[in-house]
Chain A
Amino acid sequence: MIHDLEFETLPREALQAIQLRRLQAVVERVYAMVPFYRSKFDAAGVTPADIKTLDDLRRLPFTMKQDLRDNYPFGMFAVPMDHVVRIHASSGTTGKSTVVGYTARDIATWSSLMARALAAAGTTRGDIIHNAYGYGLFTGGLGIHYGAEKLGASVIPISGGNTKRQIMIMKDFGPTILTCTPSYALHLGEVADEVGVDFKELKFRAGIFGAEPWSEQMREEIERKLDMSALDIYGLSEVMGPGVSVECIEAKKGLHVFEDHFIAEIINPETGEVLPYGEMGELVFTSLTKEAFPVIRYRTRDITSLNPEPCICGRTHLRMNRVSGRSDDMLIIRGVNVFPSQIEAVLMEIKEVEPHYQLIVDRVGNLDTLTVEVEIGETGFSDEVRVLQTLEKKISKNIKEFLGVSAKVKLVEPKTIARSEGKAKRVIDNRKY
């Protein structure tokens, strides 16, 4: 089902004309309003007037996550604060999170795009959406929520956690659409089993899953165990939040990028060179309509490819394939973005332990687990068990507080963490996607 028939099925030429007009406008606006962009463009010797065709986008410099951190918290906003009605942020230690803002019109745009995304999964006004994405600074919960209301569907703002209660509500309220991370969907399936609830007897038709990488195998598993159609959704707070792209239920083969609002490029992460359609590389986004927090050529670090082939659903917007990895060391654990450097920053604050650590990521049942192994040297060592256990708890609590992710902390003997060529291997990811 196509929510915005006119814009989602625009002929390519008309779509590109809109893109160019909007691109010129946003480039002009950030140049005038955001000192960061002005100095970057000046340094690259390019002015808004140089953007004459869509290809001229390549003349603009990239924006990196570090740039957003450097301008923490509101330095990248392109409107005065009295125009900002909402703030979201990614998790991170102080000064390291990325903060994004929205004007009232941005919220309206985001809601419309999320309505499109929900409709692409076949959602209509009559549906009840069980929204188990987290509500809060994370964009997942509220993004889906506003889209659901815009579409006119009923939304249950259940957020994450308290899984048994979620199962009870699913049984009693009869939701028809499930929105959460794919791993949480599988976890819901397991807990339902434990409490003797069969998903086949629930009313779900489809689920829209995102915020972490997943695979075709996981899709099959969810569809089989949860008896619903499983669709991939993509988004990131820096670009907007969920609803940047989504799979259609007709094809279930790649995610349509809402190109009237975003331009997607694929680049070689090493050289920055733009790659042709079909080639794997790093996904880069330029937002065309956002007011408070526009981004120009934002490097997502997600690795994928773009597919321009026409789709059977009738949408003319090109599709991005499933995200298959990252071009940096970011981990996604239960939907939370975690950089090893953030864990390191937490450990550096704790004088009792050495900054030698290793992150072990696994999937137990269907939930991600994070174990942080930290070497214990003489400073923090004690002959009393209680002291060492308190230390483990303190580290775990600090990680939870700063990063928002639960971790099991395990003290290990010095020099047990493998060092190759003097550089420690920081992450062991045992998850299979």
Chain B
Amino acid sequence: MRVEQISVFLENKAGRLAEVARILAEAGINIRALSLADTSDFGILRLIVNDNNKAKEALKQHGFTVGKTDVVAVEVEDRPGGLHRILDVLYRSNVNVEYMYAFVQQSGSNAVIIFRFDNLDEAVKVLQANGVPVIEGEKLYAM
């Protein structure tokens, strides 16, 4: 019930993001979802791709610092109140969200939200107990 996410350290200077995109393109990696957290000095690019190991190797070869983290992907109805319902469930169960980002599936009716939790196992249990659909990694990479 977990999804692998890779994260890349980026200095806050021109061309770094483009460089990552170029390396991934050359390695034939397809990006499923991404988010960029930034401070005045550095950024952390988080990516869900179709082939984590290949992406990680390609980036490392080019000198990037790359990390791997487990996150949770959740399907949410693409309509008002969809997100609120999930966050409410988590809040009531005292599950903290470190960060999250979302994307809308090509097929249309559902959105996917990626959550990074402090306590992943506990979070998955809470989500499932409340009938929130959690997506398998394999399914997400192939979307």
Contact = CB atoms under 8 A, between A and B. Distances in A.
A410 interface: yes
B11 A383 contact: no
Interface string B102-132: 0000000000000010000000000000000
A381 interface: yes
Contacts of A416: 11
A411 to B, nearest CB: 6
A29 to B, nearest CB: 55
A412 interface: yes
Interface stretch (B21-29, B38-46, B76-84): B38-46
Most chain A beta-carbon neighbours within 10 Å: one of B5, B65, B66, B67: B65
A413 B67 contact: no
Contact of A388 (B42, B64, B69): B42
Given A383-B116, A388-B42, A415 B99 contact: no
Contacts of B88: none
Nearest to B40: A410
A415 B63 contact: yes
Given A376-B9, A383-B44, A384-B99, A413 B65 contact: yes
Interface residues on A, range: 10 to 19
Interface string B28-51: 000000000101011010100000
A97 B97 CA distance: 46
Contacts, number: 52
B9 A411 contact: yes
A378 to B, nearest CB: 6
Interface residues of B, number: 21
A407 to B, nearest CB: 14
Interface in A369-420: 376-378, 381-385, 388-389, 392, 410-416
A382 B10 CA distance: 12
A412 B64 CA distance: 10
Interface string A341-381: 00000000000000000000000000000000000111001
A410 B41 contact: yes
Interface string B56-77: 0000000111110100000000
Contact of B63 (A382, A385, A392, A414): A414
Contact of B44 (A378, A388, A392): A388
Contacts of A413: 9-11, 16, 63-65
Contacts of B9: 376, 381, 388, 411, 413
Contacts of A378: 65-67
Nearest to B10: A413
Nearest to B98: A384
A411 B38 CA distance: 13
B40 to A, nearest CB: 10
B116 A385 contact: no
Contacts of B41: 392, 410-411
Contacts of B63: 413-415
A412 B116 CA distance: 24
A378 B99 CA distance: 21
Nearest to B65: A381
Contacts of B46: 383
A83 to B, nearest CB: 52
A321 B39 CA distance: 46
B86 to A, nearest CB: 21
Most chain A beta-carbon neighbours within 10 Å: one of B9, B44, B67: B9
A45 to B, nearest CB: 55
Interface of B: 5, 7, 9-11, 16, 37, 39, 41-42, 44, 46, 63-67, 69, 98-99, 116
6 contacts: A378-B65, A378-B66, A383-B67, A411-B42, A414-B63, A414-B65
Given A377-B65, A383-B46, 6 more contacts: A378-B67, A383-B7, A383-B67, A413-B16, A413-B65, A416-B11
